[in-house]
């Protein structure tokens, strides 16, 4: 029989390990939940387009079937200033940096667990100086009681993944990493949506403030006219007081709008990632914003592209793999070990044949009784999977509700904007007639006050309705998952392509 060298003997555990590594992994294989079997998002079918009117802001929006969305969907509003704000926020906001760090942490944890697939190799060197009790207890052949001993060796250990416990652990951590990638995608989407909405609200408040200041100017002129008429005996003191009350109400409204405008700019600064004193927001005009058409998709695609749904689905995958880890912990665990080295009195003699030493070993451990710990951990893992499945289904339901709400808002807010535009036109015409008649003394002050109040309310309502139409588009893009398609989802740089079954 031929003698095997120590090196050849040390390679045997690795060969056995590789054979075991090709085995199956215990626990259930993951299958992605089926898409909901629904044919539409809303209870009633959407029309081809919304209502449209003669006013420039009343154009009809079309519901357009889409398979992809632009990577920077906010550019659909046609505002270079708005684009710059969003781009700056995505670069500077610390929320994005936090999400990126969380993703890197999850990726490194998965990479660390993959290291368990390889043998652990350690090199050691141990010099000692000792004295033996007598010659018989000395480890040296010379029998010297005082001696030096140098020992150097390489140790190799490998935990066989015979039942796939480590593979399930890696699968779980990779799924968690994928969930973090989708959470980063969601953070970017939420931040971009918040910046656009804040900018639109800032523009809306400025327009409302402008209208209110116009009304203040009108009210001041009317007050001066009434004061003159009172001195001439053509107007009562009550009429003057009523007009001044309306003026003060308008001034109070303007002060409230100014406060909201300042706070909105502070919010915009925080979203952009800078201090309020350092941001000079651009003067966006609602009237200059393009009103985009509305993208729609097949309901089955929503679960494939919406980041919060994909993040919840990845956590479901992780919980599923956790069941496999718990099952593998209940089965035998085998560890193979090998070491090779030498021991000598001096460094020069360390690797002579007489001082060589080596060893091979195996350790098989089968849990027999642990007070039900492993069984209950398995049941806990199964309960965690059930919880993740329920959370996934809840996330899907919320996603479909968000899409339905945003699409319904687009449809009905268009009708509201047309109505408020007509209301403003009528109120403005009525105010002009009342002003003229008051100058001629044909009507009472109460009629003029009502006309002024109606005009202010109608103008503010029209501005708010216009802003709502624009924010409705933001809500649609956000509810659909922002940017989607092959570039942003399947090949997104931050999304980990999972190796587990779908």
289 lies in some domain: no
Residue after which a domain boundary falls, among 344, 365, 386: 365
92 and 225 part of one domain: yes
175 and 138 part of one domain: no
- The tally of domains found in the chain comes to 2
Instruction: Spell out a b/e string for 73-101, using b for 16 or more CB atoms within 10 Å of the CB, else e.
Output: bbbbbebeebeebbbbbbeebebbeebbe
274 lies in some domain: yes
288 lies in some domain: no
Structure tokens at 404: 């339905």
326 and 336 part of one domain: no
464 and 338 part of one domain: no
Q: Give which of 144, 136, 268 is closest to 201, Cα–Cα.
A: 268
398 and 270 part of one domain: yes
Structure tokens at 305: 């592209």
94-114 and 165-231 are packed helices; what angle lies between their axes, rounded to 10 degrees? 170
259 and 374 part of one domain: yes
CB 86 within 8 A of CB 196: yes
| H or E stretch at 154 | strand 146-159
271 lies in some domain: yes
Q: What is the pLDDT along the chain (502 residues), one digit of tens a residue?
A: 444 444 444 444 444 444 444 457 899 999 999 999 998 999 888 888 888 776 766 788 889 888 777 778 999 999 999 999 999 999 999 999 999 999 999 999 999 999 999 999 999 999 888 777 666 666 666 666 677 788 899 999 999 999 999 999 999 999 999 999 999 999 999 999 999 999 999 999 999 999 899 889 888 888 888 888 788 887 788 888 988 898 999 899 999 999 999 999 999 999 999 999 998 888 888 888 999 999 998 898 999 999 999 999 999 999 999 999 999 999 999 999 999 999 887 887 777 777 788 999 999 999 998 889 999 999 999 999 999 999 999 999 999 999 999 999 999 998 898 999 899 889 989 888 888 887 776 666 667 777 888 888 898 999 999 999 999 999 999 999 987 654 444 434 444 434 343 3
67 lies in some domain: yes
In DSSP terms, 82 is beta-bridged to none
92 and 155 part of one domain: no
Q: Give which of 245, 215, 212 is closest to 445, Cα–Cα.
A: 245
Structure tokens at 461: 């309502």
**DSSP strand E in 32-99: where?**
63-65
390 Cβ partners below 8 Å, 6+ apart?
none
CATH number of residue 372's parent domain: 1.20.1600.10
The pair phi, psi for residue 41, each rounded to 5°, is -85, -35
CATH number of residue 11's parent domain: 2.20.200
Residue after which a domain boundary falls, among 365, 388, 412: 365
145 and 259 part of one domain: no
The SS3 assignment for 328 reads: helix
pLDDT for the residue 140: 65
111 lies in some domain: no
For 357, the domain range is 1-24+122-159+332-365
418 and 343 part of one domain: no
Q: Are strands 120-131 and 146-159 parallel, antiparallel or unpaired?
A: antiparallel
- DSSP-assigned states of every residue in 377-429: HHHHHHHHHHHHHHHHHHHHHHHHHHHHHHHHHHHHHHHHHHHHHHHHHHHHH
345 and 452 part of one domain: no
48 and 149 part of one domain: no
137 lies in some domain: yes
pLDDT for the residue 134: 66
40 lies in some domain: yes
CA angle 93, 280, 482 (to 5 degrees): 40
264 and 152 part of one domain: no
CB 283 within 8 A of CB 242: no
CA torsion sign, 466 to 472 to 478 to 482? negative
């Amino acid at each position: 029989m031929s003698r095997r060298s120590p090196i050849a003997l040390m390679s045997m555990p690795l060969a056995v390990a590789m054979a075991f590594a090709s085995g199956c992994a215990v626990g259930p294989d993951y299958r992605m939940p089926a898409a909901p079997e629904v044919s539409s998002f809303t209870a009633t079918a959407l029309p081809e387009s919304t209502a449209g009117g003669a006013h420039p802001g009343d154009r009809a929006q079309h519901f357009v079937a889409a398979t992809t969305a632009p990577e920077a969907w906010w550019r659909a509003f046609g505002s270079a200033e708005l684009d710059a704000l969003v781009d700056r926020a995505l670069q500077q906001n610390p929320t994005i940096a936090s999400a990126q760090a969380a993703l890197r942490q999850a990726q490194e944890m998965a990479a660390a667990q993959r290291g368990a697939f390889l043998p652990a190799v350690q090199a050691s060197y141990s010099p000692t100086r000792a004295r033996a009790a007598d010659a018989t207890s000395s480890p040296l052949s010379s029998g010297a009681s005082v001696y030096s001993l140098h020992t150097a060796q390489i140790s190799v250990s490998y935990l066989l993944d015979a039942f796939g416990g480590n593979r399930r652990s890696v699968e779980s951590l990779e799924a968690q990493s994928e969930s973090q990638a989708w959470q980063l995608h969601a953070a970017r989407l939420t931040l971009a949506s918040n910046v656009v909405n804040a900018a639109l609200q800032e523009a809306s408040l400025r327009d409302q403030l402008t209208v209110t200041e116009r009304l203040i100017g009108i009210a001041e002129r009317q007050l001066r006219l009434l004061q003159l008429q009172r001195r001439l005996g053509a107007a009562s003191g009550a009429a003057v007081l009523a007009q001044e009350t309306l003026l003060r109400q308008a001034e109070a409204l303007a002060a409230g709008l100014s406060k909201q405008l300042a706070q909105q700019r502070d919010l915009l600064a925080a979203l952009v990632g800078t201090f309020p004193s350092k941001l000079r927001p651009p003067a966006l005009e609602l009237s200059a914003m393009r009103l985009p058409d509305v993208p729609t998709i097949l309901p089955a695609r929503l679960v494939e592209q919406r980041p919060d749904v994909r993040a919840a689905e990845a956590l479901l995958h992780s919980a599923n793999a956790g069941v496999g880890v718990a099952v593998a912990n209940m089965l035998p665990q085998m560890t193979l070990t090998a070491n090779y080295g030498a021991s000598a009195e001096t460094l020069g003699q360390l690797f002579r044949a007489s001082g060589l030493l080596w060893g091979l070993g195996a350790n098989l451990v089968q849990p027999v009784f642990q007070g039900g710990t492993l069984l209950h951990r398995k049941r806990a893992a199964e309960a965690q999977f059930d919880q993740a499945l329920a959370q996934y289904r809840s996330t899907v339901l919320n996603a479909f509700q968000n899409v339905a709400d945003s699409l319904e808002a687009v449809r009905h807010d268009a009708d509201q904007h047309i109505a408020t535009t007509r209301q403003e036109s009528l109120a403005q015409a009525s105010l002009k007639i009342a002003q003229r008649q008051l100058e001629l003394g044909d009507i009472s002050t109460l009629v003029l006050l009502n006309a002024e109040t109606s005009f202010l309310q109608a103008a503010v309502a029209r501005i708010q309705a216009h802003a709502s139409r624009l924010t409705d588009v933001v809500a649609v893009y956000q509810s659909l998952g922002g940017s989607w398609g092959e570039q942003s989802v399947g090949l997104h740089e931050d999304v980990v392509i999972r190796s587990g079954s779908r």
